[in-house]
Chains A and B, each alone.
Chain A
Amino acid sequence: MTTDEQRSVAPAQAPTAEAAAGGTGAASPKIEVRDLDVYYGAFRAVKGVTMAVRPRSVTAVIGPSGCGKSTFLRTLNRMHELAPKARVEGTVLLDGANVYDPAVDPVRLRRYVGMVFQRPNPFPTMSIYDNVVAGIRLAGRSSRSELDGIVERSLRRAALWNEVKDKLREPGTSLSGGQQQRLCIARAIAVDPEVVLMDEPASALDPVATLRIEELIAELRTNYTIVIVTHNMQQAGRVSDETAFFTMDEDRAGYLVEFGPTREIFTNPREQLTEDYVSGRFG
């Protein structure tokens, strides 16, 4: 395990931060984005985003398709770099440290900023157990009992333990879609990240499975900072503390229209564009 390194790179947040939230400036932001532009070659996909994500909160990113919300999410753990010719201008601070500093290794960054994807993607060649510890195994050798403990803890946190505890050796792909997505969440939190990014995690699931994922997000909030992209406004309303509304400009670049407490975005937005979107007039 890399617990010591983990602390030095990203100091653990005080558990009381969340309790104190609601007051103003209760805690320094977990993630702070400043003047972020994202390019694919010459095309600017996202422009001028500035916002801050509070620790141990759920921040939703909503907006019409093509507004760059997924692209934006992927810049937070530098996953966008897997796309050819993708680059970023601006800063993303994780606990005050710029993740785009040349000294930062994106591989190490992703240990602390995990990700859950749109479609459940458990590793088909691995059992449920091996899926959960896939990230742990990358970090080095762990004893059997350590791994067992991590598997149980992660699956419990992902609200999947009771359903799979008797078949941990079966392939991850043998589960239903909703269970697979919870397995992917267990896999993401097994490495004990600081932040979990979720890219429309329930869009491929049926309403019942979606509800379970939403309940899970609400529980995970006590341990992790969550940023979730969703095209489902009701979902954003149900799960998030704060909401960022993105839309597309005339040059097809996505930008942040408004960012604030979810209740205000949905009931009393400052911007006309936000109002039009949340009331269903476009998008």
Chain B
Amino acid sequence: MTVLLDPRRLQSRRLSRLPDRAFVGGTGAVGAGIVALLVLILVLLATNSALTWQTFGLSFVTGTVWDPVAAVYGALPFIAGTIFSSAIAIVIAAPIGLLTAIFLAEYASRRIAVPLTFIIELLAAIPSVVIGLWGVFVLGPFLKVTVESFMVDAFGWIPIFRGPAFGIGLFAAGVILAIMILPTIVTISREILVAVPPAQREAMYGLGATRWEVISHVVVPIARSGIIGAIILGLGRALGETLAVTMVIGNGQDIPRSLFDQAQTLSSKIATSFNESEVGLQTSSLIALGLILLVITIVINVVARVFVGHATAAEAGLR
């Protein structure tokens, strides 16, 4: 004789599900709060810079003059300073970062790779102001008498290498930024390289490949989109970095014509001008600079996430 299951035993018990619901609600609220915060910041920047947008419209973005006395404001020199300094940083940091990541992931023994990775991550922990001081007193003077004076002497006839070499300026800012974003590029690229499945490497070794051939034919191509994502994340950090850049970029008010010109980025302009800025059009314009910067960094980060996301999805599909 079979004993039938009492159907009541299958019925849901509201109380036992309560913690689940509370948890979903609670975590959901916190998550929504973070999203709301970002939206709120965007809205506040937009409303507080409304005066600027009403006054100049989109010509604020293309304007090249920033003159509080004449009450004329344009953001282009600072947009250019931001983009140029970040571009210099990427040109320096991307190849060095990628090669370092390849060394750490593929060539270094554990005894070297673990402490070296740790030290590189420590680089990211150095306070920005300390790097800035080092930039002003050590790196700037050093660049002035080495790289900069050499380039000016040898290639000064090319406009972008025109002197004089101050040591302080766009190039120094780019180098400082390169140092600051290197940890991001190295650590993320290394993790993505390490995640390439051993089966893929073995397949190439089995065909009679050297270690370098395995890296260049198999590992780097599989990791490619993730590495691009790492570089773009580094770029995102370079665009927003303020203090160290402010200290070494000089205080140029024009669009830089040469690598060694003094310049200003969006963030450094805000940092140097906000304290003595008058309420009204000037403050509104500084906030508008902040809005432009935020939009640029959001776009860059979204692009980076898409790349990194594709990379991890592709690797997950392989395992």
Chain A residues in contact with chain B, CB under 8 A? 77, 79, 82, 107-111, 114-115, 117, 119, 121-126, 134-135, 137-139, 173, 184, 187-188, 191
Chain A residue with Cβ nearest B197: A121
B205 CB–A CB distance under 8 Å: yes
Smallest Cβ-Cβ distance to B209: which chain A residue: A138
CB distance from B47 to the nearest CB of A (A): 48
Give bound CA distance, A77 to B208, whole Å.
Answer: 10
Q: What residues on A are CB-neighbors of B210 within 8 Å?
A: 107
Q: Is B310 an interface residue (CB 8 A)?
A: no
Interface secondary structure of A, over-half rule: helix
A188 touches B207 (CB 8 A): yes
Within 8 Å CB of A123, what residues of B?
A: 200, 203-204, 217-218, 221-222
- Do residues A184 and B205 form an inter-chain contact, with CB atoms below 8 A? no
* A79, B202: Cβ atoms closer than 8 Å: yes
A94 CB, nearest partner CB in chain B, Å = 14
> Across the two chains, which residue of chain A brings its CB closest to B225?
A125
Tell me if A184 and B203 are in contact (CB < 8 A).
Answer: yes
Q: A124-B222, A124-B314, A125-B222 are in contact. Are A191 and B203 (CB under 8 A)?
A: no
Would A110 and B221 count as touching, CB distance under 8 A? no
Contacting residues, chain A, for B203 (C-beta < 8 A): 117, 121-123, 184, 187
Say yes or no for B318: interface residue by CB 8 A criterion.
yes
Within residues 223 to 243 of chain B, which ones have a CB less than 8 A from any CB in chain A? 224
Contact between chains at B202 and A110 (CB < 8 Å): no
CB neighbours (8 Å) of B207 from chain A are: 110-111, 114, 134-135, 138, 187-188, 191
Nearest CB of A to B295, in Å: 34
Q: Could you say which of A77, A138, A191 has the most chain B C-beta atoms within 10 Å of its C-beta?
A: A138
User: In the complex, are the beta carbons of B208 and A107 less than 8 A apart?
Assistant: yes
In the complex, the chain A residue whose C-beta lies closest to that of B210 is: A107
**Most chain B C-beta atoms within 10 Å of own C-beta, residue among A77, A117, A123:** A123
Q: Is the CB of A82 within 8 A of B205?
A: yes
Chain B residues with CB under 8 A of A111 = 207-208
CA distance A31 to B218 in the complex (A): 30
* Assembled-state Cα–Cα distance A216/B222 (Å): 30
The complex places the Cα of A191 from the Cα of B204 at a distance, in Å, of 12
> A138 and B208 in contact (CB under 8 A), knowing A124-B222, A125-B221, A125-B222?
yes
Complex formed: what's the CA distance from A81 to B164 in Å?
57
**Contacts A/B (CB < 8 Å), 19 sampled:** A82-B201, A107-B208, A108-B208, A109-B208, A111-B208, A114-B206, A115-B202, A117-B202, A119-B199, A121-B197, A121-B200, A123-B221, A124-B200, A134-B204, A138-B208, A138-B213, A139-B208, A188-B206, A191-B207
